[in-house]
Amino acid sequence: MPFMTPDVTDERDGLATFAAQQLRQIAATLHGLDREQLAAAPSASAMTLGALTRHCLWVAQRNVLAIHAAPGCPEGPQHTPAQVEAEGTIQPDALRPEDTAGSLIEELHSAADELDAAIRAADPDTSVPIPEEPWFSGSEHWNVRRCALHMVEEFARHAGHADVIRESIDGKGAYELNALADGEEWPPTGW
């Protein structure tokens, strides 16, 4: 099940594993949804699973670029900063016309793989640019370690949001969705 990470062996492995795992957990919340459900805002907030997913993809791509831009890091994916910036932050209408649950799940898994690889390729002490948003003011120094920990925090928060939105849509919770996404029977024998 995606919310259980494999054992980790060292700091870099732990940072990469936990950051990528949270993106994969968000992907599990999309399992089996139709387009109308991706665009639904079933709670008091205007947040949708489609918009939440697009935001997380944007954040992941932006951080992969930041890590690969750090001195001594190997070249990474071929996104340009302008492409990533054009994707924007959370917007209620962020779902694209071509988006489906399947396509977004694929993009989240790909983003998780890219983030995992970027964190593993970089020295955790390597400096990276501090994001320029006002909520990051006061930070004087970021390194790959800080960036990776922020990704764990950011995506864990949004995985929780995704759980609440999904439960509001059809009552399916994380255990069931993880089993279904893995092609397993629900409920498991003995539950």
Please enumerate in sequence order all residues whose Cβ is within 8 A of that of 148, keeping only pairs 6 or more positions apart, or say none. 15, 16, 19, 119, 124
More confident residue, 75 or 189: 189
User: Does residue 76 register a pLDDT over 70?
Assistant: no
The domains located in the chain, with CATH, are: 11-181 (1.20.120)
pLDDT tens for 58-69 read 999 989 988 988
> Which of 10-14, 83-87, 133-137 has the highest average model confidence (pLDDT)?
10-14
Share of the chain above pLDDT 90, in %: 62
User: Does residue 57 register a pLDDT over 90?
Assistant: yes
User: Does residue 134 register a pLDDT over 70?
Assistant: yes
pLDDT band for position 83 (cuts 50, 70, 90):
very low
Q: DSSP letter at 142?
A: E
So what's the pLDDT on residue 3?
Answer: 58
More confident residue, 8 or 6: 8
pLDDT tens for 115-126 read 999 999 999 999
More confident residue, 139 or 37: 37
d(CA 10, CA 185): 34
Mean pLDDT of 169-186: 92
Size of the chain, expressed as the number of residues it contains: 191
Q: Cα 153 to the chain's mean position, in Å?
A: 10
pLDDT tens for 100-113 read 999 999 999 999 99
Q: Which residues pair with 15 in a beta bridge?
A: none
Is 0.75 surpassed by the pTM of this model?
yes
So what's the pLDDT on residue 25?
Answer: 95
d(CA 56, CA 158): 8
